[in-house]
Amino acid sequence: MAPGRIRGDGDRERWPDRGARDDDDRYADEVEYEPVSAAEAAREGLRQIVGLTGKDPLGITSIEATDDGWLIGVEVVEDHRIPASTDLLGLYEVELDVAGGLLGYRRTRRYQRGKGD
């Protein structure tokens, strides 16, 4: 009998389950990722915002570990104005998984430079 064949089921072949576990109790098709540090997550969050929005970054305003990875706050210049003290700024939150992959982003605030809360 050919490997993978089941006796008595005609021409059907039996294929291993995709979710079958191997000897170290992990799924065979599961990929392991190395978790990123807070500093690496912050750099990646900044890079993602610049790539997605095309805006000039001012810096990272916050970083927070979450159950799913990281939440990074990034401040950018939304609109350059003259004088620079009237620039329009934006604050974005970037959500990354534990390996640094982008889960989502959103602008949480837009304000004029020099204007407090």
Question: How many domains is the chain built from?
Answer: 1
Length in residues, the chain: 117
Can you give the CATH number for the domain in which 93 is found? 3.10.450
Q: Where are the beta strands (DSSP E) in the chain?
A: 56-65, 69-79, 88-97, 102-112
Separation CA 114–CA 33 (nearest Å): 41
pLDDT of the residue at 114 = 84
Cβ-Cβ contacts under 8 Å for 18 (sequence gap 6 or more): 28, 29
For residue 111, the cross-strand partners are 89
Tell me: the pLDDT tens digits for 10-21?
444 444 555 555
pLDDT for 116 beyond 90: no
Range scoring the smallest mean pLDDT among 28-32, 33-37, 47-51, 88-92: 28-32
**Is 17 within a domain?**
no
Tell me: the pLDDT tens digits for 67-88?
999 999 999 999 999 999 999 9
Domain ranges, residue 85: 38-112
**Is 30 within a domain?**
no
